[in-house]
Amino acid sequence: MPRHLFKFFFPASGGARVIEGKNKSIRLARYGCTNRPFYHIVVIHTRMGRNDHPIEQLGTFDPSPNEYHEKLVSLNIERIRYWLGTENIHITDQVRELFGLAGLFPIYHRTYMKAWKNRATAEAEIEKQKQEKLKQEQEEKEESKEAAGSG
């Protein structure tokens, strides 16, 4: 069967054959366009390709912020807990980070590192703005002194 027809007859919501004893992983499968990624959180055999036919789709993740600056995630918690209870399951770091933010796992250490870096850059930006504001005020005072002294 041609590959494009295979994907047509078997949608991404699942249906691949589960092979007992083989390692499975919960990972992201990339969909969407070139500059507009969209991910499905899927259970798939470890040796399968990124977008090959999954065993089951557990959720979606849209990394592009919407108009409210939110990155949207939808998860099927019941099925995720089922798959976490099975043996031979591997979870990728990106999915582990999403599950940590959702409350299924402890918060992933990379999340703390990102928050620390974001706070540091925000503090540096605020400090830079304060320095620029002080510099402007000093220049204005000097100009007003020069204008008062000559006038």
pLDDT (tens digit, 9 = 90+) per residue, 109-138? 888 898 899 999 999 999 999 999 999 999
Does one domain contain both 101 and 115?
A: no
* CA 126, 130, 135, 140 torsion-angle sign: positive
Strand partners, 57: 42
pLDDT at 5: 54
Does one domain contain both 96 and 79?
A: yes
Does one domain contain both 32 and 68?
A: yes
pTM of the model: 0.69
Structure tokens at 56: 């089951």
Does one domain contain both 30 and 88?
A: yes
Q: How many CB atoms lie within 10 A of CB 22?
A: 10
Does one domain contain both 39 and 94?
A: yes
Residue 90 sits in a domain of what CATH number? 3.30.1320.10
Structure tokens at 147: 């204008």
Q: How far is CA 2 from CA 12, 51, 65, 70, 82, in A?
A: 16, 16, 36, 39, 33
Does one domain contain both 100 and 114?
A: no
Boundaries of domain holding 119:
108-151
Tally of domains in the chain: 2
